[in-house]
Amino acid sequence: MPDRPLDGVRVLDLTNVLAGPYCTYHLALLGAEVVKVEMPGRGDLARQLGPDPALNRAGLGASFLAQNAGKKSVEIDLKAPAGRSVFSELVTHADVLVENYRAGVMRRIGFGWEELRALNPRLIYCAITGFGQSGPLSQAPAYDQIIQGLSGMMSVTGTPSTAPQRVGFPVADTVGGLSAALAIVAALAGRHHDGEGRMLDVSMLEASMSAMGWAVSNYMVSGVEPEPMGDQNATAAPSGTFETADGPLNIAANRQEQFETLCRLVDRESLITDDRFADREARKHHRAQLNDALNEALRARPAAEWETILPAAGVPAARILTVPDAVDSAQLASRGFFAELPFPPGAPSAAVTRANGRLRVSGSGVLVDGEQLAPASAPPALGEHNAELPDLLRRWRTPSHDRLRAV
């Protein structure tokens, strides 16, 4: 893809683990030049995180590889005079700086918003924290599970007998990273009009609460406290996971015509005229009886058959896949969602051999002009671009060609 939306945008990435790196990964996919500034000899903690001990020891943990492709890595000690000098010059010519330290850390080391703005009035500075830069929890440590618990997310996950449960992937980190990326792109667009930098204070807790949508609004607007419902949809019925001859099947017959079509296709037309299931509210009230009737009918065929029959008639339905099955799905393959890259320098030979020499990483889920946004390069080894830093500085001193820089 020769021209990406953020081509020419220069990003300093001081982030660790997931929320921040996920944010800057999306900026890199959109075309930004992302320079990852890492602590000498240590780097991003995610370099030591993942299921493969050999990769972890090499500083290339799976958690790191997943969201750092397309970036450069330079080691700079922000507490040493020489490192501070180099970093200050990078800031002077950067468009965006992203960090996810605890609130106040950047200020304590002399690079708070006031100092950064003095170096570069056009800088977009994004700070991602668990709770934001202010408030009684601003200094509390926060990881994804802490945010899931405090947001109420865990209270509505699981069944009445198993809740509270953690969502099976770090959703609070992910949502925080996406919120940050959206805010950065909006700030760049705003700067195009007024020439001003922005300080973006991203709270993972608030981003998670915003993403919870109906669960929060149903309580605030209607006074209805959300409850864990397992695999059922509180807003409609039949909508949830059902039993087939050989495994589970998700069905979301949320509209009246979908419900009626479903009943006909599973040979249970009598349900359509049953007063208990006459409309959405009645079906929600008698959900258990309706589910029992549909499960009995759906057991007549395997899930794959229903997955063909029901969507063809306009009823949303699909099997529940494992992660390996989802990764290998024809739909994702047809869109080119996964990119194949070389492994970074220093990757253990066993890991490279196991993957047939290619590292697969996720895309963004967005096609631009019909093309998938794939990373431009492999995830970097720690300090892989140290030797290129003088050239990078010389290049950054030259005004960027980025269309969003000029006012």
307: domain CATH number is 3.30.1540.10
Q: Is residue 228 part of a domain?
A: no
Number of Cβ within a 10 Å radius of residue 5: 17
- Same domain assignment for residues 353 and 277: no
Q: Is residue 159 part of a domain?
A: yes
- Same domain assignment for residues 199 and 128: yes
Identify the active-site residue in 44, 95, 173, 402: 173
Q: Is residue 57 part of a domain?
A: yes
State pLDDT tens for residues 301-311. 999 999 999 99
Question: What confidence score (pLDDT) does residue 401 get?
Answer: 53
Question: What confidence score (pLDDT) does residue 330 get?
Answer: 95
Q: Give residue 41's identity as a one-letter amino acid code.
A: G
Question: What confidence score (pLDDT) does residue 214 get?
Answer: 85
Range of the domain at 275: 239-321
Per the listing, tokens 């929600």 go with 284
Q: Which of 287, 321, 355 is the last residue of a domain?
A: 321
Residues 179 and 175: their CA atoms lie apart, in Å, by 6
Question: What confidence score (pLDDT) does residue 186 get?
Answer: 97
Number of Cβ within a 10 Å radius of residue 221: 9
b/e burial code for range 243-277 (CB count within 10 A of at least 16 → b): bbeeeebbbebbeeebbbbbbebbebeebeebeeb
Q: Which of 264, 286, 321 is the last residue of a domain?
A: 321
Q: Is residue 94 part of a domain?
A: yes
Q: Is 112 exposed, middle or buried (0-12, 13-18, 19+ CB in 10 A)?
A: middle
DSSP 156: G
Q: Is residue 260 part of a domain?
A: yes
Q: Give residue 163's identity as a one-letter amino acid code.
A: A
- Same domain assignment for residues 358 and 297: no
Paired tokens of 300: 């007549």
- Same domain assignment for residues 194 and 272: no
Widest CA span of the chain, in angstroms?
79
- Same domain assignment for residues 391 and 276: no
Number of Cβ within a 10 Å radius of residue 222: 8
Q: Is residue 222 part of a domain?
A: no
Which residues of the chain fall short of a pLDDT of 50? 403, 405-407
Residues 52 and 48: their CA atoms lie apart, in Å, by 9
Q: Which of 269, 287, 321 is the last residue of a domain?
A: 321
Paired tokens of 119: 């170096």
Cis ω on the peptide bond leading into residue 164 (within 30° of 0)?
yes
- Same domain assignment for residues 47 and 122: yes
pTM over 0.85: yes
- Same domain assignment for residues 60 and 200: yes
- Same domain assignment for residues 24 and 143: yes
- Number of domains, the chain: 2
351: domain CATH number is 3.40.50.10540
- Same domain assignment for residues 254 and 186: no
Q: Is residue 229 part of a domain?
A: no
Contact indicator for 362, 66 with CB cutoff of 8 Å: yes
- Same domain assignment for residues 141 and 244: no
Q: Is residue 230 part of a domain?
A: no
- Same domain assignment for residues 157 and 302: no
Annotation says 173 is catalytic: yes
Paired tokens of 279: 């409309």
Question: What confidence score (pLDDT) does residue 3 get?
Answer: 84
- Same domain assignment for residues 190 and 252: no
